[in-house]
Structure 1
Amino acid sequence: MSSWQSSVADKRKRQQESIPKEWTVPVPANDVSNVIRFPEQSGVMSSKELQITNEVDVQELLQKLASGQWSAVEVTTAFYKRAILAQQVTNCLTEIFVERALKRASELDVHLRETGTVVGPLHGLPVSLKDQLCIEGLESTIGYVSLIDKYAKKNSVLADILLEAGAVPFVKTNIPQTLMWGETFNNVFGRTTNPYNRSLTCGGSSGGEGALVALKGSPLGVGSDVGGSIRIPAAFCGVYGMRPSYHRVPYEGALNTLEGQDSIPSVFGPFSNSLSGIKMFMKSVIDLKPWRKDPLAIRKPWDEEAYKLSEHGEGKRLCFGIMRHDGNIMPHPPILRGLKMMKDALVNAGHTVIDWQPINHKEMNDTVTAIWGSAAREDFRVTTLATQEPIIATMLPPESETFSEMVVDPRYPEDGMTSFQLWQLHKRKIELRKEYLDHWEKTNLETGTGRPVDAVIAPVGPYVAPPHGRNRPSGYTRVYNLLDYPVIVLPVSQVDQELDAKAPPHEYLNDADMEFHEWYDPAMFRDAPIALQLIGRTLEEEALIAMAEIVDAALKA
Structure 2
Amino acid sequence: MSDNWKDICLARKSAQLALIPREWIIQVPPETQTNVMDVPQECGLLTKRELQITETTDVEILLNKLHSSEWSSEEVTTAFYKRSVIAQQLTNCLTEIFIERALQRARELDGILKKTGKIVGPLHGLPISLKDQFAMKGLETIMGYVAWVGKYAESDCVLVEILYECGAVPFVRTNVPQALMWWETYNHVFGRTTNPYNRRLTPGGSSGGEAALIAMRGSPLGVGTDVGGSQRVPAAFCNLYTLRPSYDRLPYYGAANSQEGQESIVSTLGPMSNSMSGIKIFTKAIIDAKPWTRDPLARKRQWSEEEYSLSEHGGGKMLCFGMMWDNGIARPHPPLQRAMKMTKEALEAAGHKVIDWEPHRLVELYVNSENIFGADGDYDRRSHCELSGEPVIETMAPIGDAHENILGEAFVRTLMDKSGLRSAYDLWKLHREKRELRKSHLEHWKKTVERTGTGRPVDAIISPTIAYTPAPHGLNMSDSFYSTLSNSLDYASCSFPVTFVDAELDKPQPPHAFYNHEDEALFNLYSTDVFAGSPVGLQLIGGPQEEEAVIAMTEIVDRALKVYDAKGRLAD
| TM-score interval, smaller chain | over 0.9
Amino acid at match of 1:20: P
Tell me, yes or no, if the aligned pair for 1:241 and 1:271 is still in contact at 8 Å: yes
Deviation at 1:400, TM superposition (A): 8.8
Take 1:432 and 1:546, find their aligned partners in 2: how far apart are those partners?
Answer: 28
The question of 1:524 aligning with 2:525 is answered no
Deviation at 1:116, TM superposition (A): 0.3
Take 1:139 and 1:208, find their aligned partners in 2: how far apart are those partners?
Answer: 16
| Secondary structure, aligned partner of 2:417 | coil
Take 1:518 and 1:210, find their aligned partners in 2: how far apart are those partners?
Answer: 27
Deviation at 1:160, TM superposition (A): 0.5
- How does the TM-score come out when normalised to structure 2? 0.95
Alpha-carbon distance change, 133 to 376 in structure 1, aligned in 2, over 3 angstroms? farther
Take 2:183 and 2:432, find their aligned partners in 1: how far apart are those partners?
Answer: 27
Q: Counterpart in 2 of 1:230?
A: 231
Alpha-carbon distance change, 461 to 85 in structure 1, aligned in 2, over 3 angstroms? same
Segments of structure 2 that go 5 or more residues without pairing to the other structure are 403-412, 564-572
Take 1:121 and 1:519, find their aligned partners in 2: how far apart are those partners?
Answer: 45
Deviation at 1:520, TM superposition (A): 1.2
Amino acid at match of 1:440: W
Amino acid at match of 1:479: L
Deviation at 1:411, TM superposition (A): 4.0
Amino acid at match of 2:442: L
Task: After superposition, give the CA deviation of every residue in 1:145-170 in whole Å (9 maximum; x if it has no partner).
Answer: 00000000000000110111000000
Give the aligned CA root-mean-square deviation in angstroms: 1.3
Take 1:517 and 1:252, find their aligned partners in 2: how far apart are those partners?
Answer: 41
Amino acid at match of 2:511: P
What does 1:444-459 align with in structure 2 at a 5 Å threshold?
Answer: 444-459=449-464
Take 2:399 and 2:54, find their aligned partners in 1: how far apart are those partners?
Answer: 35
Amino acid at match of 1:534: L
Q: Counterpart in 1 of 2:570?
A: none
Q: Counterpart in 1 of 2:159?
A: 158
Alpha-carbon distance change, 351 to 414 in structure 1, aligned in 2, over 3 angstroms? closer
Residue 416 of structure 1 is aligned with which of 416, 421, 426?
Answer: 421
Take 2:444 and 2:385, find their aligned partners in 1: how far apart are those partners?
Answer: 43
Take 1:98 and 1:139, find their aligned partners in 2: how far apart are those partners?
Answer: 15
Take 1:204 and 1:176, find their aligned partners in 2: how far apart are those partners?
Answer: 7
Take 1:461 and 1:380, find their aligned partners in 2: how far apart are those partners?
Answer: 25
Task: After superposition, give the CA deviation of every residue in 1:419-467 in whole Å (9 maximum; x if it has no partner).
Answer: 1111000000101110110011001111110000001100011110010
Amino acid at match of 2:449: N
| Secondary structure, aligned partner of 1:197 | coil
Q: Counterpart in 2 of 1:492?
A: 498
| Secondary structure, aligned partner of 2:452 | coil
| Secondary structure, aligned partner of 2:283 | helix
Q: Counterpart in 2 of 1:184?
A: 185
Amino acid at match of 1:379: D
| Secondary structure, aligned partner of 1:201 | coil
Identity of aligned residues (%): 53
Q: Counterpart in 2 of 1:405?
A: none
| Secondary structure, aligned partner of 2:261 | coil
What does 1:56-205 align with in structure 2 at a 5 Å threshold?
Answer: 56-205=57-206
Amino acid at match of 2:558: D
Take 2:482 and 2:230, find their aligned partners in 1: how far apart are those partners?
Answer: 12
The question of 1:515 aligning with 2:515 is answered no
Take 2:414 and 2:381, find their aligned partners in 1: how far apart are those partners?
Answer: 9
Deviation at 1:514, TM superposition (A): 2.2
Q: Counterpart in 2 of 1:219?
A: 220
Take 1:161 and 1:304, find their aligned partners in 2: how far apart are those partners?
Answer: 21
Deviation at 1:237, TM superposition (A): 0.6
Take 1:399 and 1:311, find their aligned partners in 2: how far apart are those partners?
Answer: 53
Q: Counterpart in 1 of 2:469?
A: 464
Take 2:288 and 2:32, find their aligned partners in 1: how far apart are those partners?
Answer: 47
Residue 442 of structure 1 is aligned with which of 442, 447, 451?
Answer: 447
| Secondary structure, aligned partner of 2:523 | helix
Question: Which stretch shows the higher mean deviation, 253-262 or 499-508?
Answer: 499-508
Amino acid at match of 1:424: K
Q: Counterpart in 1 of 2:378?
A: 377
Aligned residues: 551
Question: Which stretch shows the higher mean deviation, 371-380 or 446-455?
Answer: 371-380
Q: Counterpart in 1 of 2:276?
A: 275
Deviation at 1:509, TM superposition (A): 2.1
Take 1:308 and 1:144, find their aligned partners in 2: how far apart are those partners?
Answer: 44
Q: Counterpart in 2 of 1:427?
A: 432
Alpha-carbon distance change, 415 to 343 in structure 1, aligned in 2, over 3 angstroms? closer
Amino acid at match of 2:60: Q
Tell me, yes or no, if the aligned pair for 2:91 and 2:196 is still in contact at 8 Å: yes
Alpha-carbon distance change, 42 to 346 in structure 1, aligned in 2, over 3 angstroms? same
| Secondary structure, aligned partner of 1:488 | strand
Tell me, yes or no, if the aligned pair for 1:200 and 1:467 is still in contact at 8 Å: yes
| Secondary structure, aligned partner of 1:363 | helix
Q: Counterpart in 2 of 1:2?
A: 3
Residue 543 of structure 2 is aligned with which of 537, 541, 545?
Answer: 537
Take 2:414 and 2:5, find their aligned partners in 1: how far apart are those partners?
Answer: 19
Amino acid at match of 1:246: Y
Take 1:150 and 1:300, find their aligned partners in 2: how far apart are those partners?
Answer: 34
Deviation at 1:50, TM superposition (A): 0.4
Question: Which stretch shows the higher mean deviation, 36-45 or 513-522?
Answer: 513-522
Q: Counterpart in 2 of 1:337?
A: 338
Q: Counterpart in 2 of 1:404?
A: none
Take 1:129 and 1:96, find their aligned partners in 2: how far apart are those partners?
Answer: 11
Take 2:557 and 2:512, find their aligned partners in 1: how far apart are those partners?
Answer: 30
Tell me, yes or no, if the aligned pair for 1:320 and 1:352 is still in contact at 8 Å: yes
| Secondary structure, aligned partner of 1:446 | helix
Tell me, yes or no, if the aligned pair for 1:393 and 1:410 is still in contact at 8 Å: no
Amino acid at match of 1:512: E
Take 1:320 and 1:477, find their aligned partners in 2: how far apart are those partners?
Answer: 17
Tell me, yes or no, if the aligned pair for 2:374 and 2:415 is still in contact at 8 Å: no
Deviation at 1:415, TM superposition (A): 4.0
Take 1:536 and 1:97, find their aligned partners in 2: how far apart are those partners?
Answer: 38
The question of 1:291 aligning with 2:301 is answered no
Question: Which stretch shows the higher mean deviation, 318-327 or 379-388?
Answer: 379-388
Amino acid at match of 2:179: T
Deviation at 1:508, TM superposition (A): 2.2
Take 1:186 and 1:239, find their aligned partners in 2: how far apart are those partners?
Answer: 23
Question: Which stretch shows the higher mean deviation, 91-100 or 497-506?
Answer: 497-506
Alpha-carbon distance change, 504 to 409 in structure 1, aligned in 2, over 3 angstroms? closer
Task: After superposition, give the CA deviation of every residue in 1:219-272 in whole Å (9 maximum; x if it has no partner).
Answer: 000000000000010000111011000001100000000011111110000100
| Secondary structure, aligned partner of 2:327 | coil
Take 1:157 and 1:512, find their aligned partners in 2: how far apart are those partners?
Answer: 40
Question: Which stretch shows the higher mean deviation, 85-94 or 358-367?
Answer: 358-367
Q: Counterpart in 2 of 1:555?
A: 561
What does 1:281-320 align with in structure 2 at a 5 Å threshold?
Answer: 281-320=282-321
Tell me, yes or no, if the aligned pair for 2:371 and 2:419 is still in contact at 8 Å: no
Take 1:27 and 1:202, find their aligned partners in 2: how far apart are those partners?
Answer: 19
| Secondary structure, aligned partner of 1:200 | coil
Amino acid at match of 2:547: E
